[in-house]
Structure 1
Amino acid sequence: MRIADTSDLWWKNAVVYCVDVDKYLDDDGDGVGDLTGLARRLPYLADLGVTCLWLMPFYSTPGRDNGYDVSDYYGVDARLGTHGDVVELIRTAEDRGIRVIVDLVMNHTSDKHPWFVSARRSRTSPYRDFYVWRDEIPDDPRETQFPGEEDGVWEWDEKTEQYFLHSFYSHQPDLNAENPAVRRELAKVMGFWLQLGVSGFRVDAVPSFVSSPERREPQRDHDVLKALRRFAQRRSSDAMLVGEVNVPHEEQAAYFGEDGDGELHMQFDFASNQALYLSLAREDPAPLRASLESRPPIATISQWANFVRNHDELTLDQLSEDERAEVFDAFAPEESMRVFGRGIRRRLPPMLGGDPRRVRLVYSLLFSLPGTPVLLYGEEIGMGENLDIDERDAVRVPMQWRPEGGFSTAPPSKHPLPAPTGAYGPAHVNVQDQLLAGDSLFAFVRGLARSYRQSPEIGWGELEITPVSAPSVLGHAVSTDESRFVALHNFAGEPVRFEVELGEEPPGTELVCLASGESWPVTGGTVTMALDGYGARRMRVCRPGDGRLR
């Protein structure tokens, strides 16, 4: 594949950074992070190599689900700032070469949203059909997204004497996507934020949005979301939609569409994320290799979004019961570390016992796998979780800027959540110290982001699983017509020496390490090299006369 004009496909080789605004930096000293505080840190993000800032919900909200309980899609949470602050953040980010995307919560609203307040007031309300109501619970209802927290997905409303659907919490009634008026309202919401300058949306809980209220399985017809994508691109030709689609790979193909004309430009690869943790638990790349090979082919204008951790639990629902038990035993041995019976509420470094070799191995993989890397705030410095906090909020701790915390000048009692303590507290893990250390995790991740941006084939090329003679090593290449990127990652703690099969290459071809400049001759299509325990190399194939920098 030859790389053509990429101006409207900016997401193909972006570096995405997810921020929870109220936990990033408090500018006015009230104890809550805000949009002006985030704007102050844009130079930091630009230095890290971020090119796309993903804002978690900052809309008006009662605050019962970290902002995902929206009470006004057009409003800004007064604790975080104003519309003027949003526009200033977008403009300042653009000056730094950073685009901004925002969460689009289409599946449900808060029960405090004016639509639902009106809908539950009377069966004749003009907003009644904005939600899903039934006289009786269906015989085969969907399962709740939060087992152990909710008994089901149908809630009885005393005033109007009907049940309403809530796929998530009972205070988050599902919107009725089959209602054309709902679709028009959601399109208006997208148009509003596109007009203010955002470059796209992270679409929340996509499978739930397109599924039938009466059945567990998704609808075959995805026209609702397709229409919203077409609307977004009419308003802004380079608008991008990235979807939270936690389903097996074969089901994700429908969301991309046959020629990339489906409802989403990008999808998070949950299947490979879960396979990664199984591979880490076994110190064997085979599960991850198999998952990568099972990715369906996608069009040039489509893309995979790769991630290590997100702001929710580390869900393991696509693993078998035995596989999930393996990952639990390795990384969440205590029941308090688990949630919903399917997930882990920890960040990566504590799961890996703080071993810097393994942590760096994982982030090297993140910036090597075909697709677009997505970081959660604080990953770049190796932040941990606070298990004293309930549920998924354990990983949503305030950003650690300085040894004393640095998130806010207000007393910790006023902060949204308490910081981790012990080895992962701010005294030991913070930005200030890592900016001054050339061998810090921050410096390592910044180097990965730089080499990723200099290696367009990772975002644009096609995956090849590269044969390697050592079972513990995952070898893969990503190629375009112009270049070829090769990565090797040793999942075991023991050093290995092995051969890599690259196929036919011209005499004089070398494999050159992007980090060190070290090179290895390619002889007869084969390269012999060694890796330390949990070691990794990211390389480029350099052919004689191709004029490429090492």
Structure 2
Amino acid sequence: MNKTWWKEGVVYQIYPRSFKDSNGDGIGDIRGVIEKLDYLKELGINIVWLNPVYKSPNDDNGYDISDYRDIMNEFGNMTDFEELLNEMHKRDIKLVMDLVVNHSSDEHKWFIESRQSKDNPYRDYYIWRKGKDGNAPNNWGSFFSGSVWQYDEKTDEYFLHLFSKKQPDLNWENEKVREEVYNLMKFWFDKGIDGFRMDVINLISKVPGLPDGEKGEGQLYGNGFPLTANGPRVHEYLQEMNKEVLSKYDIMTVGETPGVTPETAALYVGEDRNELNMVFQFEHMDVGTGTTKWDIRPWKLTDFKAIMSKWQEELNGKGWNSLYLNNHDQPRPVSRFGNDKEYRVESAKMLGTMLHMMQGTPYVYQGEELGMTNVSFGMEDYKDLEIINAYNELVKGGFMNEQRFMEGVHLRGRDNARTPMQWNDCANAGFTTGTPWIRVNPNYVDINVEKALKDKNSVFYYYQKLIKLRKENPIIVYGDYEEILRDSESIFSYVRTLGSEKLLVILNFYEPEVEFILPENIKYSSKELLISNYAVDEQEEIKNIKLKPYEARVYRLK
């Protein structure tokens, strides 16, 4: 397996709108990020993934781009961006940008031209179709509710948008579109950025003919996902992108790829495939999901462990894993997988241990290192298009009980991750001197950076230690993975092996105390405790341990 900087790094994800506001307008910005670079350096971060800061009308929080070569006014300007890049590099922090090229904004000059006439040179930059029997060209449903088709009166045709109607899909079959994308990538690489996180990149190739999707009982729309994800030409496009752009720079790439399995992921990330370095898969994030993400179902630890272990084992030696439990689209892990009340600190540390001790590149989402939690807003305080559209379609449409829907939003909604970063216990958590664009989580008085930095037992210092251990121990990065005690519904435990070295990771996933019994086939002559979230007697025998609520321990065995 090749050794590279992006395998050995730890990524910190910044959602700039909610990170730090420098000018009091209530919206985080680039200068706010610059102010906090020393904080990231102290944590030990050496790669930052910055969510989109490009020009955008902000229909979907910057994922609808109207100019790929300019900065959104709310965030600053190109001079600010260049200063940010320079200040990061001074601190040995690499910068990974978001690449959003499955779709653009409907306010991008390409689309403005495209909708002018059927013979406009930009017409074929997007996917236009005639209606069928007085209806949309097919029955696909959008990720953001409603149809994927928007009728445009001017030319009496429909354009395709897998997401919002203000996010028309680009037509990757058009060679000129691909050239435009490769040129804009070179523009940013030539500025000195260090990589791209590629938004829904496995959706860029649609099945020819765009046939109807299957329709389940009670579904308004057909399921177009199998006809858009991992499409027939996606690998051809990514190999072309690699040849034309990626191979010419020492950079990191991670593709967001909903609907992949370890087998299909290996096609994107195989070291001999010349496509991407790693992908984000969603299987573990879908645990406990019913017919929609708002339909919450019970799940068992064995289900979750099986998914995590499958990705560790089946991608080992074939490709590289991204390790994450939350991001700007996913709720806070301590609220979803831990206990964000009585055992918030312990369970946040336990979940961090689980992730950072696995093979792959770990991603820390802003505030995760503090143990920030979900919020329980009423509908009037949510800003996310996905939540608002789903409420209108499911609750107002009579398909889902409001209380059940809100329980789903409080557990799974994207705005859980988008409340402002909690810097201190002053007004608005020190995020802004103005009115924040979205409400601050009321618990900022107790959970904030200032408080965490004064408490040697805080989640922050625990994450700092996890990151330091990773830098100092190649086994954490490159070691093989083997799960033990697979049938336990309380304990998640695994062994990492590199040469003659072994690490033993022991995690109690729940509140009740539980007995850990070391399998007899794991032999050792000495042990060293590397990290734990409770005080532990280092002389304690590990063959039989009574684990406290959400306890985590990592031992080096010899």
The verdict on a shared fold, with TM-score over 0.5 as the criterion, is yes
Task: Give the drift of 1:42.
Answer: 0.7
Tell me, which stretches of 5 or more residues in structure 2 are unaligned?
212-223, 291-295, 388-413
Equivalent residue number for residue 378 of structure 1:
367
For 2:432 and 2:284, locate their aligned partners in 1 and report how far apart those are by CA, in whole Å: 40
Task: Tell me if structure 2 keeps the 8 A contact 1:398–1:407.
Answer: no
Question: Which moves more between the two structures, 243-252 or 264-273?
Answer: 243-252
- Residues 266, 319 of structure 2: 8 Å contact kept: no
- SS across alignment from 2:7: helix
Counterpart in 1 of 2:85?
A: 90
Shift in Å, 1:257: 5.1
Distance 1:281 1:363 in 2: 24
Shift of 1:233: 2.9
- Match of residue 242 from structure 1: 254
Residue 144 of structure 1 corresponds to 142
Query: Secondary structure in 2 aligned to 1:273?
Result: helix
Contact 1:468 1:498 in 2 (8 A): no
Partner of 1:389: 382
Provide, for residues 460-483 of structure 1, a one-character-per-residue CA deviation record: whole Å limited to 9, x for no partner: 222111247955211112222263
Q: CA deviation at 1:143?
A: 2.8
**2-structure distance, mates of 1:180, 1:502:** 60
- Report how far residue 61 of structure 1 moved: 0.6
Residues 371 and 459 of structure 1 are in contact (CA less than 8 Å); yes or no, is this contact kept in structure 2?
A: yes
Q: Deviations over 1:164-186 (max 9, x none)?
A: 00000011100001111111111
* Paired position in structure 1 for 2:476: 458
2:64 is the counterpart of 1:43? no
Structure 1 Cα separation of the partners of residues 478 and 285 of structure 2: 20
Instruction: Give 1:360's aligned residue.
Output: 349
Take 2:502 and 2:340, find their aligned partners in 1: how far apart are those partners? 34
Q: Deviations over 1:251-284 (max 9, x none)?
A: 5335435545252211123213334999x99785
1:434-455 per-residue CA deviation (whole Å, 9 max, x = no partner) reads 1111122222222222223223
Partner amino acid, structure 1, of 2:143: Q
Distance in 2 between the 1:492 and 1:400 partners?
27
Residue of structure 2 equivalent to 1:297:
314
Q: 2:286 & 2:474 partners in 1: Cα distance?
A: 26
- Structure 2 partner of 1:340: none
After superposition, where does 1:274-423 map in structure 2 within 5 Å? 274-275=286-287, 284-295=300-311, 297-298=314-315, 302-312=319-329, 314=330, 346-351=331-336, 352-354=339-341, 355-356=343-344, 357-386=346-375, 387=377, 388-390=381-383, 391=387, 392-404=414-426, 405-412=428-435, 415-421=436-442
Q: Deviations over 1:203-254 (max 9, x none)?
A: 1012322333615433233211222133333331x21210111214245335
Cα separation, partners in 2 of 1:521 and 1:56, compared to 1, 3 Å: same
Pairwise mapping of residues 59-78 of structure 1 onto structure 2 (< 5 A)? 59-78=54-73
How far residue 380 of structure 1 moved from its aligned partner, in angstroms, is 1.4
Query: 1:275 and 1:481, CA in 2 relative to 1: closer, same or farther beyond 3 A?
Result: farther
Q: State the Cα deviation string for residues 137-166 of structure 1 (Å, max 9, x = none).
A: 57754331123xxx2101111101111000
Q: Mark the CA change 1:468 to 1:57 in structure 2 (over 3 Å): closer, same or farther.
A: closer
- Alignment length (residue pairs): 491
Q: Which residue matches 2:551?
A: 535
Closer, same or farther: CA 408–250 of 1 in aligned 2, 3 Å = closer
* CA shift digits 1:84-136 (9 cap, x unpaired): 22222122112222111010001101000000000001111111110001012
Name the counterpart of 1:342: none
Whether contact under 8 Å (2:160, 2:168) holds in the other structure is yes
- The one-letter amino acid of 1:61's match is S
Paired residues of 2:266 and 2:318 also in contact (CA < 8 A): no
Q: Which moved more, 1:34-43 or 1:82-91?
A: 82-91
1:224 aligns to 2:237 (yes or no) = yes
Distance in 1, matches of 2:416 and 2:306, equals 31
Q: Which amino acid is 1:440 matched to?
A: S
1:37 CA displacement:
1.6
2:144 is matched by which residue type in structure 1? Answer: F
Q: CA RMSD in A?
A: 2.8
Change (3 A) 1:500 1:277: farther
- Judged with a 3 Å threshold, the aligned counterparts in structure 2 of structure 1 residues 282 and 30 are, in CA distance, closer, same or farther, namely closer
Of 496-505 and 240-249, deviating more is 496-505
Q: Percent identity?
A: 30
CA distance in 2, matches of 1:371, 1:143: 34
Q: Aligned-pair distance for 1:347?
A: 2.6
Match among 79, 100, 114 for residue 105 of structure 1: 100
Q: Which amino acid aligns with 1:88?
A: E
Residue pair 1:202, 1:242 contacting (<8 A) in 2 also: yes
Aligned residue number for residue 19 of structure 1: 14
Which one-letter code corresponds to 2:246 in the other structure? Q
Q: Give the C-alpha shift of residue 306 in structure 1.
A: 1.4
Q: In the alignment, which of 92, 109, 113 is matched to residue 114 of structure 1?
A: 109
Q: CA deviation at 1:363?
A: 1.8
Moved more, 429-438 or 244-253: 244-253
Question: 1:143 & 1:364 partners in 2: Cα distance?
Answer: 38
Tell me: CA distance 1:134–1:156, structure 2 relative to 1, closer, same or farther (3 Å): same
Question: Aligned in 2, Cα 1:226/1:518: closer, same or farther, shift over 3 Å?
Answer: farther
Report if aligned partners of 1:260, 1:302 keep a CA contact under 8 Å in 2: no
Over residues 460-509 of structure 1, what are the superposed CA-to-partner deviations in whole Å (9 max), with x where a residue is unaligned?
22211124795521111222226332211112322223322374646x34
Alpha-carbon shift at residue 521 of structure 1 (Å): 9.1
Seen in structure 2, the aligned counterparts of structure 1 residues 408 and 487 have a Cα distance that, compared at 3 Å, is: closer
Structure 1 gaps of 5+ residues are: 315-345, 544-550
